[in-house]
């Protein structure tokens, strides 16, 4: 692909695309503006792609058009068919594709540098291009292999518990040091063994970094991999001399890193500890993940309907179990019936509820729950003590007080929703045998003010709605 002289109009088009991407990120910060944000991002990407195709002499424009059509059709079909419960693993899978694309572009540039315009007067690849190429391939390979592990864990093909490797920190640091050292050496010697060794080690470190990370930290991993994919794209943008790709990659990389940092603060986690792999992993492995054998109270849909209809305020806490059962629409109907009875209904969202950032917000928005009824942890936590009922549907780790008291717990230190302070806690759970994604049982299940509602979440909420009628 040969590059033509860059005109001011091309730079203006890329600038407009960049502004669209910034507007998209701003729009995605709120459920109310998320649709407009998505549209702005689509417009920006269309401008960037069309401008790139028009301003470069490509080998075969029809072939590229066919590839875009095939990829677009596959993406459209997947987006239409995918269930909201599978959205986290879909995001992880898409991140892996971005990482793999960066590796393939880097490999193509290495094998045919003349086509990319990165050959110096001596006939060797420019030094600065070797740095860009090495970093792009390394970050892309880490993103790919790490995203594959994240997908397998989120999809249930691999255990969500931390898989602790002996001397993992020593191995990880040694591998990372070897990668950086080889990239530095690559600037002096472009021998094939250097390039392919960097690539192979980077694929390996992606696996090694994500395998020790348990389910409690998985939302951070998803946003972190999003950041990696952005930096990989930015690095390849330098290799391709494509301004739009650099801008887009930098925006994705920076926003993903900021989101990961914010989520770590919300979980009282160290960002460095999470990306190093397996914060709390040793404790999780020791915890065993077994349920507590203690007496508990079982309730029915009729009991729950009666208690909530008599309440002044009910706080609903959605979790991944709600997503699995697709119970959000029935839950909104239940909330509407309670409000018709004069009950104040609020929704409490933990920053890491579900399997990816904003998972619960998206599901509630899909069910047309009013945005002003949805509150984040720091805005709602103080109200549990003044509420008559806390209705927890499919959440465990984010309501587990062990995070505040048990130093051996893998979730210790993570801020949780104080549902146990409500007068009555109604817990919707499929059975008492299972434990949360982090492998820890919840002591709230066995308290005197807790009533367990054991059933499929959607069926239980539908039965409660019938009992209210």
CA gap 66, 265 in Å, rounded: 45
Residues designated as active site: 397
CA gap 429, 166 in Å, rounded: 36
Instruction: Please give the model's pTM, rounded to 2 decimal places.
Output: 0.74
Asked whether 314 and 389 are in contact (CB, 8 A), the reply is yes
CA gap 446, 303 in Å, rounded: 18
Q: Under 8 Å CB-to-CB from 143, ≥6 apart: which residues?
A: 95, 96, 98, 99, 102, 206, 225, 228, 229, 232
Instruction: Single out the residue of 138, 240, 139 nearest to residue 195, CA to CA.
Output: 138
Asked whether 416 and 400 are in contact (CB, 8 A), the reply is yes
Name the DSSP letter for residue 297: -
CB atoms within 10 A of CB 108: 15
CA gap 109, 112 in Å, rounded: 5
CA gap 134, 199 in Å, rounded: 8
CA gap 302, 21 in Å, rounded: 50
pLDDT of residue 283: 40
pLDDT of residue 83: 74
CB atoms within 10 A of CB 447: 15
CA gap 23, 36 in Å, rounded: 9
pLDDT in tens, the chain (469 residues): 444 445 788 888 888 988 998 998 888 777 677 788 889 999 999 998 888 888 766 667 788 888 889 988 998 898 888 776 677 788 888 889 989 999 999 999 899 888 788 888 888 888 888 998 999 999 999 999 988 988 888 777 777 666 777 877 788 889 999 999 999 999 998 899 999 999 999 999 988 888 887 666 677 788 888 888 888 888 888 887 778 888 888 888 888 888 888 777 766 667 676 666 544 444 443 344 445 567 889 999 999 999 999 999 999 999 888 888 888 999 999 999 999 999 999 999 988 787 777 778 888 888 888 888 999 888 999 999 999 999 999 888 889 888 888 777 777 778 889 999 999 999 998 887 666 655 678 888 999 999 999 899 999 999 999 998 7
CA gap 432, 435 in Å, rounded: 8
CA gap 28, 35 in Å, rounded: 8
Q: How far is CA 456 from CA 135, 426, 429, 440, 459, in A?
A: 47, 14, 7, 20, 5
pLDDT of residue 184: 94
Instruction: Single out the residue of 102, 154, 94 nearest to residue 323, CA to CA.
Output: 154
Q: How far is CA 246 from CA 114, 237, 257, in A?
A: 21, 5, 16
Query: Considering just the CA atoms, what is the radius of gyration of the chain in Å?
Result: 25
Asked whether 348 and 417 are in contact (CB, 8 A), the reply is yes
Q: How far is CA 293 from CA 206, 248, 441, in A?
A: 39, 52, 10
**Residue carrying the six token digits 């990239």:** 183
Instruction: Single out the residue of 90, 92, 182 nearest to residue 138, CA to CA.
Output: 182
CA gap 223, 242 in Å, rounded: 25
């Amino acid at each position: 692909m040969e590059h033509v002289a860059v005109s001011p109009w091309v730079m203006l088009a890329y600038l407009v695309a960049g502004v669209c991407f910034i507007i998209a990120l701003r729009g995605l910060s709120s459920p109310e503006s998320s649709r407009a944000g998505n549209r702005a991002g689509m417009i920006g990407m269309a401008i960037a792609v069309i401008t790139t195709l028009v301003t470069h002499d490509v080998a075969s424009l029809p072939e590229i058009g066919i590839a875009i059509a095939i990829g677009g059709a596959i993406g459209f079909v997947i987006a239409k068919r995918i269930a909201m419960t599978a959205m986290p693993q879909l995001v992880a899978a898409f991140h892996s594709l971005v990482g793999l694309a960066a590796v393939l572009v880097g490999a193509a540039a290495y094998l045919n540098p003349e086509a990319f315009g990165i050959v110096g007067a001596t006939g060797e690849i420019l030094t600065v291009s070797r740095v860009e190429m090495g970093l792009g391939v390394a970050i892309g390979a880490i993103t790919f292999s790490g995203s594959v592990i994240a997908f397998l864990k989120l999809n249930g093909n691999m255990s969500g518990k931390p898989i602790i490797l002996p001397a993992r920190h020593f191995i990880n640091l040694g591998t990372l040091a070897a990668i950086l050292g080889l990239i530095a050496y690559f600037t002096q010697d472009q021998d094939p063994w250097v390039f392919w060794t960097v690539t192979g080690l980077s694929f390996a470190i992606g696996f090694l970094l994500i395998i020790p990370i348990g389910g409690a930290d998985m939302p951070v991993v998803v946003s972190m991999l999003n950041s990696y994919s952005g930096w990989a794209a930015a690095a390849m943008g330098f290799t391709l001399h494509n301004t739009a790709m650099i801008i887009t990659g930098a925006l994705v990389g920076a926003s993903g890193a900021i989101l990961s940092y914010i989520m770590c603060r919300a979980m009282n986690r160290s960002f460095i500890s999470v990306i190093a792999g397996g914060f709390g992993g040793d404790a999780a492995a020791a915890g065993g993940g077994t349920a507590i054998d203690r007496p508990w109270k079982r309730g029915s849909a009729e009991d729950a309907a009666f208690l909530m209809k008599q309440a002044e305020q009910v706080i609903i806490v959605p979790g991944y179990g709600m997503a699995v059962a697709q119970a959000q629409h029935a839950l909104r109907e239940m909330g509407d019936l309670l409000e018709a009875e004069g009950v104040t209904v609020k929704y409490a969202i933990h920053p890491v509820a579900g399997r990816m950032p904003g998972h619960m917000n998206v599901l509630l928005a899909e069910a047309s729950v009013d945005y002003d009824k949805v509150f984040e942890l720091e805005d709602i936590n103080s109200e549990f003590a003044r509420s008559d009922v806390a209705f927890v549907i499919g959440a465990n780790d984010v309501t587990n007080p062990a995070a505040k008291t048990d130093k051996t717990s893998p979730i210790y230190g993570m801020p949780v929703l104080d549902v146990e302070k409500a007068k009555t806690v109604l817990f919707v759970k499929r059975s008492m045998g299972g434990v949360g994604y982090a492998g820890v049982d919840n002591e709230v299940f066995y308290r005197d003010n807790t009533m367990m509602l054991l059933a499929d979440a959607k069926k239980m909420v539908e039965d409660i709605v019938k009992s209210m009628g």
